[in-house]
Amino acid sequence: MLREPAELRVDDHGRVELPVGLLAEAGIAPGADLLAFSDGDGRIVLRRAEDAMRDLLEHGEL
Average pLDDT of the chain to the nearest whole number: 88
Contact status, residue 44 vs residue 33, Cβ threshold 8 Å: no
Give the gyration radius of the chain's Cα atoms: 13
Residue 2 has pLDDT above 70, yes or no: no
Looking at the chain, list the stretches that DSSP marks H as alpha helix, in order from N- to C-terminal side.
20-26, 49-59
CA distance 31 to 34: 9
- Taking the domains of the chain in order of start, what are their residue ranges? 31-62
pLDDT at 7: 93
What residue type is assigned to position 24 of the chain? Answer: A
pTM attached to this predicted model = 0.70
pLDDT confidence tier of residue 62, bands split at 50, 70 and 90: low
Overall average pLDDT of the 13-20 stretch: 94
